[in-house]
Amino acid sequence: MSIDWDIEELAGYAMGKTEDQVEKMINESTTEDELFDKYEIGFEQYCKIVQDLLPFTPTVTAGITGTEYHAFVLNENGHGRIIVRLRVISTK
């Protein structure tokens, strides 16, 4: 799964879409148009904003590896699911 697909998914949820609507938006390649309609920006600009905001998101720890990530998380039925993530670089 590419980072662009993850960011498209995040865009859909940020625009208030359901899971089915997000999937349809991605499959029909309408993300660019919908971002422009909602925010008056293109997908490339949206990607840059998401990547710039990631360091300000809370960190989560991957269960198996213990790797820490900054992440946008979708809360579904009481369970968090990471949508977009950025590995935390330790400065220790």
From residue 43, give the alpha-carbon distance in Å to each of 31, 50, 79: 7, 10, 28
With 70 as the cut, is the pLDDT of residue 85 above it? yes
The two structure tokens encoding residue 63: 């269960």
Backbone angles phi, psi at 30, to 5 degrees: -105, 5
Confidence at residue 63, expressed as pLDDT on a 0 to 100 scale? 81
Give Cα 70 distance to the centre of its chain. 11
Integer Cα distance of 92 and 78 in angstroms: 34
Instruction: Report how far residue 85's alpha carbon sits from residue 77's, in angstroms, rounded to the nearest whole number.
Output: 20
pLDDT one-digit tens code per residue, 2-20: 578 899 999 999 999 999 9
Q: Domain boundaries in the chain?
A: 3-87
Q: Report pLDDT for 21.
A: 96
pTM for this prediction: 0.84
